[in-house]
Amino acid sequence: MKKLIALMLVLILASSFAACGKPAEEPAEDAGDSAQQEQSETAATPTIDKIKAAGKLVVGTSADFAPYEFHILDENGEDKIVGFDMDLAQAIADHIGVELEIKDMNFDSILIELQAGTVDLGIAGFSPDPERAETFDFSDIYYFGGQSFAILESNKDKYTSYEDFTGLQVAAQTGSIQADLLAENTPNASAVLLKTVPDVVMELVSGKVQGAFLETAILENYMKTYPEIIEMCPVEYDSEGSSVAIAKGNDDLLAVVNEVIAELLESGKMDEYVAAANEISDQAIA
Ligand code: ARG
C-alpha cells in the first residue's frame, strides 16, 4: 500500500512540471560535483608569501569557455589562452608582483588540483555553489553569466517544456553546476556528461543530444557561429555569478583577490575585459 501511495505521488509530481519550471520532485542523484566531495581537508596552503617566494601565481583554468577563457592563435601563429578570466588572473598576479602561470585542464580537475595545492587559484567561471563552498572559499562575484537551456531552432515547436525531454538525451559539462541543473530540471532525460563545453555544443548541433544546459554568456557566444541553436528558456539558479575558487585557509590571498575584483569592477576595467573577450571570441580554437 505504501509503495502504491509513493508511486502515485511520483506520478502526480511528474505530471506537474510547468514549462521550464523546476520539477517539484527532489533530484534523485547529484550528477555533478562528485569529485569535490571526495577530497580530503589536508591541502598544502599557498599564501601570498609563498607565492612571492615562488615568483609566480599558478592559476588553474579550463580554456574551453569563450569568452571567459579560450585558445586562440596569436599574431605569431602560437597557441595562446585569452579571455576576461585570464585578464583577471593577470591583474591579480600584477597586484601581488609575480609572474602568472596558467595551467589548462579539464574543468572537473581544477578543484582537485586546488585542494592538492598544485594551483593557487581556480579561475574558470566558477559558480560559488554552496556544496562546493563547504570545501573551498570563493571570492566576491566578478561577472554574471546566467544559465540557459539550449535546443536546436528546428525543434522549437517540438520541445517547449522540460517535460518534453523525458527519455531524451540532455548534455552538460562534467563536474559543472550545469550538470546539477540537468539533474534537477530534466530528471527524466538521460544525462550525457561531457568533459568539455565544445563537446556539449557539438553534440547538440549534430543532434546527438536534444538539449543542453549552458551558461547564457557561453550560449550567446556559440549562437554567433551556430545560428541553428536557440535558448529554449533561461534556467533558475540560486548561486548565480562567477567567482574565484581558493583552497580554504588562504585568507590573505582571498583578501587580495577580492581587492583586485573590487578595483576592476569600480574602474570599469572588468567591463572592458569582457567586451574585449567577446570581440575576439569568434577566433576561439578547440
Ligand atoms: N559556472 C559553471 C560552474 O561553476 C561552469 C563553469 C565551467 N567553466 C569552464 N571553464 N568550462 O560549474
| The predicted structure's pLDDT at residue 47 | 82
Ligand 1 pocket test: pick from 178, 199, 218 the residue with the most ligand atoms within 8 Å of its Cβ: 178
Burial degree of 208 (CB within 10 A; 0-12, 13-18, 19+): exposed
8 A C-beta contact, residue 79 and residue 73: yes
Give the three-class secondary structure for 4.
helix
| The predicted structure's pLDDT at residue 281 | 93
8 A C-beta contact, residue 244 and residue 124: no
Report CA(10)–ligand 1 centroid distance (Å): 32
| The predicted structure's pLDDT at residue 5 | 46
CATH numeric code, 147-235 = 3.40.190.10
Report CA(124)–ligand 1 centroid distance (Å): 6
8 A C-beta contact, residue 63 and residue 81: yes
d(CA 150, CA 116): 35
Which residues on adjacent β-strands are paired with residue 193?
172
| The predicted structure's pLDDT at residue 33 | 47
In the chain, domain spans: 49-144+240-283, 147-235
d(CA 63, CA 110): 11
Which residues on adjacent β-strands are paired with residue 211?
170
d(CA 100, CA 117): 16
8 A C-beta contact, residue 194 and residue 173: yes
Residue 163 in contact with ligand 1 by CB distance below 6 A:
no
Strands of the sheet containing 211-215, edge to edge, are 190-194, 169-173, 211-215, 147-152, 229-234
Q: pLDDT by residue for the chain (286 residues), tens digit each?
A: 444 444 444 444 444 444 687 666 544 444 444 444 444 444 454 589 999 999 999 999 999 999 999 999 999 999 999 999 999 999 999 999 999 999 999 999 999 999 999 999 999 999 999 999 999 999 999 999 999 999 999 999 999 999 999 999 999 999 999 999 999 999 999 999 999 999 999 999 999 999 999 999 999 999 999 999 999 999 999 999 999 999 999 999 999 999 999 999 999 999 999 999 999 998 998 6
Other Cβ atoms less than 10 A from the Cβ of 91: the count is 19
Report CA(86)–ligand 1 centroid distance (Å): 14
Other Cβ atoms less than 10 A from the Cβ of 138: the count is 22
d(CA 117, CA 111): 10
Q: Which residues contact 62 (CB under 8 A, 6 or more apart)?
A: 69, 104, 105, 106, 107, 109, 110, 124, 196
Cell triple for 248: 580554504
| The predicted structure's pLDDT at residue 156 | 97
Residue 115 in contact with ligand 1 by CB distance below 6 A:
no
Residue 174 in contact with ligand 1 by CB distance below 6 A:
no
Closest ligand 1 atom to residue 197 Cα is 11
d(CA 187, CA 183): 5
d(CA 74, CA 236): 37
- Indicate the fold that domain 49-144+240-283 takes in CATH: D-Maltodextrin-Binding Protein; domain 2 (3.40.190)
Same fold for the domain at 49-144+240-283 and the one at 147-235? yes
8 A C-beta contact, residue 245 and residue 136: yes
